[in-house]
């Protein structure tokens, strides 16, 4: 998704530079520019903005997914510590739970 965002930024920046070049050719050099460059610039800008938005939405949905899983970071360390304490108190090998 970050690749889509970066590609969108590159595309939108390229469209902006191309649009500025067309304006310079028209106003400073007085060259007649046919109608297709303005259409190309418009399409590039719209495509770039769409790619940026797809990347942002993908990042947001990814964050939501990781929050929905609700996996605690401390669970493994806490479980291992309790198992070790139980084994030391009993004096034997650590007890195994059904999850292991």
pLDDT, tens only, 3-41: 888 888 999 999 999 989 988 888 888 887 788 888 888
pTM here is 0.59
| Those residues with Cβ within 8 angstroms of residue 22's Cβ, 6 or more apart along the chain or in another chain | 33, 37, 38, 41
Distance CA 58, CA 21 (A): 33
Distance CA 11, CA 53 (A): 13
Instruction: Tell me the CA distances in angstroms from 22 to 16, 60, 100, one per residue in order.
Output: 10, 36, 67
Q: What is the pLDDT of residues 28-80, one digit of tens each?
A: 888 877 888 888 888 999 999 999 999 999 999 988 888 888 777 665 555 55
């Amino acid at each position: 998704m970050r690749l889509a965002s970066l590609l969108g930024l590159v595309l939108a920046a390229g469209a902006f530079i191309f649009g500025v070049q067309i304006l310079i050719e028209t106003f400073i050099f007085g060259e007649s520019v046919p109608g297709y460059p303005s259409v190309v610039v418009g399409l590039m800008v719209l495509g770039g903005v769409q790619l940026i938005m797809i990347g942002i939405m993908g990042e947001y949905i990814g964050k939501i997914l990781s929050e929905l899983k609700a996996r605690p970071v401390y669970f493994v360390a806490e479980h291992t510590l309790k198992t070790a304490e139980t084994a030391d108190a009993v004096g034997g090998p650590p007890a195994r739970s059904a999850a292991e």
